[in-house]
Chains A and B, each alone.
Chain A
């Protein structure tokens, strides 16, 4: 291993402990090595600093909700469109409400809450998953409210006036947790399709596209709520609900396409029905 390689290995933290101590003792006796070492260390630190700056610049370009205006409901981030996936078995109940009155009544109490700016805690979702098992056998009373467990870590920490890091994430847990008791024999699953809002593109004020399997919404979706509905019919279809209008989403649409509201009143009526099950 020549000097250059050694220095590099040392500075980039790729040396073993033995190599390290050997190198360090060599440094004390070899001034030329020491010089080169100082230079290399500066250069590598420089590269690292440049990368840190690059990453920070990248992060700075992401639109976020200001912490200062946090109390207001006008965030830029529409974080949570929560939901349960009601698959297969539920369809029976949707279309035969008269025959299944008690079940429908329960369905109506499904509370899939849409919350702005408040990401849902993963635990909540997990608990929904667990509920899959029990949901089929036990129908819980709709007055039952599961208490989200707040981790012990929320207790105050010393010195700095500490906020509870989980508090924000836990807040919406109650409403979404409610959903699980109402799903009956239906399966609740977590969807894999991700939604991203991009409001940095001036050109696209109300558009969408599918990009690598994720839905990208373009426009000022920040001051409203959006919901994505999927209807499993003969062919699965995706719809966007936003500010009292419904929009058809074509999953094969990889180009940025303007969103136009659905005019067909029959279809709108149907979609309304589906949505009301959720709310």
Chain B
């Protein structure tokens, strides 16, 4: 079954907002067990694409399948396999970290004793136990990312979709998140995440796709995409950025 080997499959996903095209037909196949980086400049449509892939935003056209389950035709089964950490979306932040985890666990229909045990472990590993009964709204940005990741991981999903997991995270927390994600992939999970930090993507990912102006510009394993150059060079070229030539801004260089 090819479906079983493809963790996430997108076909012709498209979305326009107020007549402006945000995503113009994205096709993507994320192999199971891969660590997949979705790269793109600001406004490329990363968040829109991922939102449509996980059932948060209804696409104008196209299909999204999670391990063979259609996200839009059969949302319940697809969503059971999914763990999601959206970006720019609030958590139920008037709960404490432990309460939030318990809430997510029970929402997913998990057994309360399992929820208790996993929540305690996750809080411990992510160094959030010290926060005690502090409400999530009073957490720092890095702590919020960590608790968001914990919520996505709690029910043991087969596919993790993370939007900008490393944004606004300090190096210590980032290293911790990287370790956890690497372990998750090592044990058979699949991670898709969006980012525009080349260094992180280059270090972690087995596959990358470069998204710009709502379409996929390059896709493949990381070695296929970057060839002999650095990922950053390829990215800037694909996205159509320019490197300063030195003629302009002369007043900057004294």
Partners in one complex: no
Q: List residues of chain A with CB under 8 Å of any chain B CB.
A: none
Q: List residues of chain B with CB under 8 Å of any chain A CB.
A: none
